Amino acid sequence: MSISYSWVAESLDFDKDYDASVFETTIRVVGGLLSAYDLSGDKVFLEKAKDITDRLLPAWETTSGIPYNRINLAHGRAHNPGWTNGDSILADSGTEQLEFIALSQRTGDPKYQQKAENVITQLQKIYPSDGLLPIYINPHSGTASYSTITFGAMGDSFYEYLLKVWIQGNKTEHVKHYRQMWETSMEGLISLTKKTTPSNYHYICEKNGGSLSDKMDELACFAPGMLALGASGYGPEKSEQIMNLAKELARTCYNFYQTTPTKLAGENYFFHAGQDMSVGTSWNILRPETVESLMYLWRLTGNKTYQDWGWDIFQAFEKNSRIESGYVGLRDVNTGEKDNMMQSFFLAETFKYLYLLFSPPSVISFDEWVFNTEAHPLRIVPIHDNKGIGTPARPFGPFGRKQGKPE
């Protein structure tokens, strides 16, 4: 029996008097357990995923069905953090759908899917014509609060999941509204896109009321990969436009890295008249978004330039972040001063995407798998009824083989 399997089976206990992030717990813990189940076929991972998700469910007990974003795992008390003034966060509320639908598919219990999909139903009621929602949503009324619109922090993965649920759902009529919402939002993204002179860097602005802010988070560098993944769902002319935008944004994100002395990107960048870009917040915490997009673009275009760019980024991590016990971020990408922390997503996402960037496309094929926002692959399964609950087309395991408990 493997150490990891043994620990999950015998020691992993979620009955903790602890206020957890619903979003982070879903994408990291639920997503990770479901992925382990899909890759191994061992039901202990599915049972643990069900246990933790059942503890999260009270967060959805709001007037609108928009969930609170924090919950006590032992007592089920849900609330929002004080700094949001009682509002829920868009990305936090719109980034459970893949995992909850997958859990319903694998257990046959529709309650998880119903909770998560009701959020999308509520957001459809207030969906603006440009598809761009503010980052704060009132969980009681279900209406948007006046706040920033961004493809960076607190907005990003909502848009990602609109596309990926459509893919997870086999692109069928049942999930058509996800694709329609995503396409509407991509028109909004295009409206936020500007380019610099003289280097012609394309970037995605943030929107505050009626004005645009020339600021882009490294977090928003997931967007080139998302656009590339969704491009094929359009007609030929639009598909080419979307793919070209993905390529241009990826070039900008790569240069977030290349324009600093350490060749590692800052947390965000500002664009000014007559300038290409300048680092805003100058730390680097080993984020994955740029290499994620490079992986998608390499797989979908076959252009090895994206592998070259990924190798440059990997070498910069090796030079600046590697220490005897692992990897650490930088307090300042200009000076190279190190911090003392390796974020969990560095192994879960950044290194995983780098590995896949240099692996054959058949490894976790896009035809059979969809990645959640924490880079955990979930197997795409067929849909057999109008509720969207499906069963696997073949036994779980990375190559379709039935796999038993590790020895």
Binding site listing for Ca(2+): 373
Q: Catalytic one among 267, 292, 349, 374?
A: 267
Q: Catalytic one among 183, 206, 276, 289?
A: 289
Q: Tell me if residue 289 is catalytic.
A: yes
Residue 261: which residues within 8 A CB-CB, separation 6 or more?
Answer: 333, 334, 335, 336
Task: Extract the tokens encoding 188.
Answer: 């909004």
d(CA 395, CA 367): 16
Q: Tell me if residue 156 is catalytic.
A: yes
Q: Catalytic one among 24, 47, 51, 109?
A: 24
Annotated binding site: 373
Shortest CA distance to 106 belongs to which of 190, 181, 173, 34?
Answer: 34
Residue 212: phi, psi to the nearest 5? -100, 140
Q: Catalytic one among 156, 183, 218, 292?
A: 156
The residue type at 83:
W
Per the CB < 8 A criterion, the answer to whether 333 and 262 are in contact is yes
CA-to-CA separations, 156 to 30, 126, 151, 159, 231, in angstroms, rounded: 19, 18, 4, 6, 18
Q: Tell me if residue 267 is catalytic.
A: yes
d(CA 379, CA 397): 9
Beta strand 322-323 pairing with 278-279:
unpaired
Per the CB < 8 A criterion, the answer to whether 149 and 132 are in contact is yes
Is residue 302 classed exposed, middle or buried when 0-12, 13-18 and 19+ CB atoms within 10 A define those classes?
A: exposed
Task: Extract the tokens encoding 71.
Answer: 């919950």
Annotated active-site positions, please?
Answer: 24, 156, 267, 289
